[in-house]
Amino acid sequence: MNSILRHGVEWRRLLQAGVVGISAAVVVKVCCQPELPESWRQRRTFTVVPADTKVFDAQNKALQMVANAAGLALHDLQRVVRSNWCGLELIAEVIAAAPENDKRSLAEQMAQRARRQNLLPQADDVQNAVASSRPRPETRRTYGVDVGGDAPLYLASGHEVSDINAALEQLRDEGLVILSAEAQHEEVRKALRLPGLGRPVREVPSREILALGCSAPLEPSAGRRHFLLRGTDFAEQVVVPLLAPIMPLCYRYFSENRPDASPGSFLNDGNGHSCSRLYLSECQLLVSDPGAVNQMWHCDAWLTGEDKCEGLTVILPLTEVDDELGPTNLLPGSHLFAGFNLGATMKGLKALAAAGGSVAPTPLRPGQALIYDARLMHRGLANSSYNRCRVVVVMRLDMLDTPPPGATVFQTAMIRALGVLLQGLSSVYKVLPIPNLRTA
């Protein structure tokens, strides 16, 4: 009986959200004209550029201060940071930006908090701490479980997001952002024996990917092959390091949403006990073959009654992705529906209206990254081409205390129904007449 009542309450909330959405559509259409697709995409794309030399040096000096305060050699501190994904590099940025007289005391304070939270070992225990995180190959049974592996050191990459505060605001408000870099992922393409850039990928034999050490592919929907890569040398040495330039944005987002977990707990101190931290919960190679069908609307995470981020999903295209190849279709702002908060829901609907409904940010090219909140409703569209494959790397970052799956079967059915409703609303919304379409 309690289960029936709980499900009834959730369906009532779903219905309320749908009614609010339909009622608000016409009003929002009049007050908030949507942008053209190209304009919308340009305004939400940020560039990864080489870091300022002086700032870069100051951040590395701050990291050295933390190492000294913790009684560790810098090399050992970096090994620990790589092995536990604690985001201590973000704290080095905070220390570097502090007044000169406060830097040393701040570094000592951060080192003490990290040790209290069991995120920094003693000098004589570094080897054991690092060894305990060594990766093991992922299987279907360990999907979503922390199988170990190293975090990319973003300070070592020497890159930064051109306007990281604006990108963070975009990710906060609409739940998605596009980062663009010059990297072309040549090592990944070479390992997979893909043709050169600008040439279509006609076929991706499973045997080529299985030779890299991953398990047999999952096929949750017709035409899609998901190869689990975590724990393989290919993932550790070639794929995961591609996250380095975007980690500053990811750490900031988690720090803001989860002040009780690292790296936010370094700044807020928490309760002094062992706290949660990030880990790589997913690293897949996704191949959408010609004829692949639409996915259902879904979320990678769903929190009822709460309004905080559970995870971030990162999509790195290895081929040019256009509308024909079945890009990722998203509902901007839908991550704000998770808490069933009226104010957040209206804010999410406003973001959806600004985009003109559901969006598929295309074209995407190798070197770009689509990042979205795991609560955002999305789906992969059908590959309507006759002889081209869509090949992307999908990675997801989660907290240890909120591992996948982030939604029950019943909640998944709710999300699917709400996604269909919002997609229908988007279709109607797009054909509503407007006097002057904004172009910039």
| Per-residue confidence in pLDDT tens, the chain, 440 aa | 656 666 666 667 666 666 665 565 556 655 666 677 777 888 889 998 888 888 888 999 999 999 999 999 999 999 999 999 999 999 999 999 899 999 999 999 999 888 888 888 888 888 888 888 888 889 888 888 999 989 998 887 788 888 899 999 999 999 999 999 876 678 888 888 888 887 889 999 999 899 998 888 999 889 999 999 999 999 999 999 999 989 999 999 999 888 888 898 888 765 656 678 999 999 999 999 999 999 999 988 775 545 567 789 999 999 999 999 999 999 999 888 876 677 888 888 888 888 878 898 888 999 899 999 998 999 999 999 999 999 999 999 999 988 888 777 887 888 888 888 888 877 777 776 655 544 44
- Can you tell me the distance from the alpha carbon of 169 to that of 173, in angstroms, rounded to the nearest whole number? 6
| pLDDT for the residue numbered 439 | 45
- Phi, psi at 197, each rounded to 5°: -60, 145
Helix (H, G, I), strand (E, B) or coil at 76: helix
Q: How many C-beta neighbours within 10 Å does residue 47 have? A: 15
Rounded Cα distance, 324 and 41, in Å: 18
φ, ψ of residue 396 to 5 degrees: the values are -135, 140
Residue found by looking up tokens 């997001």 in the block: 161
Amino acid residing at 275: C
Q: What angle do CA 25, 30, 33 make, to 5 degrees?
A: 90
Cβ-based burial of 116 (10 A; exposed 0-12, middle 13-18, buried ≥19)? middle
Q: d(Cα 438, Cα 440) in Å, to the nearest integer? A: 6
CB proximity list for 24: less than 8 A, separation 6 or greater: 346, 349
CA dist 317 and 312 (Å) reads: 16
For the beta sheet containing 278-288, the strands, ordered from the edge strand earlier in sequence to the opposite edge, are 159-161, 45-50, 176-180, 368-373, 311-317, 390-399, 278-288, 224-228
Per the CB < 8 A criterion, the answer to whether 253 and 167 are in contact is no
Structure tokens at 7: 């499900």
CATH, range 2-49+156-431: 2.60.120.620
Give yes or no for a contact between 229 and 212, defined as CB atoms under 8 angstroms apart: yes
Percent helix / strand / coil, the chain, rounded to 5: 45, 15, 40
CB 393 within 8 A of CB 242: yes
Q: 176-180 and 368-373: which strand pairing? A: antiparallel
φ/ψ bin of 326: left (φ > 0), alpha (ψ from -120 to 50), beta (otherwise): left
Tokens linked to 27: 């009003």
> 328 φ, ψ to 5°?
-75, 125
d(CA 22, CA 3): 29
Q: Which residues contact 200 (CB under 8 A, 6 or more apart)?
A: 319, 387, 388
CB-count burial class (<10 Å; 0-12, 13-18, 19+) for 389:
buried
437's tokens: 């379409």
Nearest to 380 by CA among 366, 392, 365: 392
Residue 22 has a pLDDT of 58
Residue with token string 């190959």: 137
What pLDDT score was predicted for residue 107?
A: 93
Tell me the pTM: 0.89
The predicted pLDDT at position 40 comes to 81
Which residues contact residue 6 at a Cβ distance below 8 angstroms, ignoring those fewer than 6 apart? none
Closest by alpha carbon to 171, among 91, 93, 94, 252? Answer: 252
Q: Which residues contact 213 (CB under 8 A, 6 or more apart)?
A: 137, 232, 233, 234
Q: What is the pLDDT of residue 14?
A: 65
Rounding to the nearest 10 degrees, give the CA dihedral for residues 277, 347, 45, 399. 10
In sequence order, the 6+-apart residues with CB closer than 8 A to the CB of 110 are 66, 69, 88, 91, 95, 266
d(CA 221, CA 202): 20
CA gap 11, 303 in Å, rounded: 15
Which residue type does 134 have?
A: R
Paired tokens of 236: 């550790």
Distance CA 123, CA 272 (A): 20
- Would you say 121 and 80 are in contact if contact means Cβ atoms under 8 Å apart? yes
Q: What residue segments make up the domains of the chain, in order of their start?
A: 2-49+156-431, 53-133
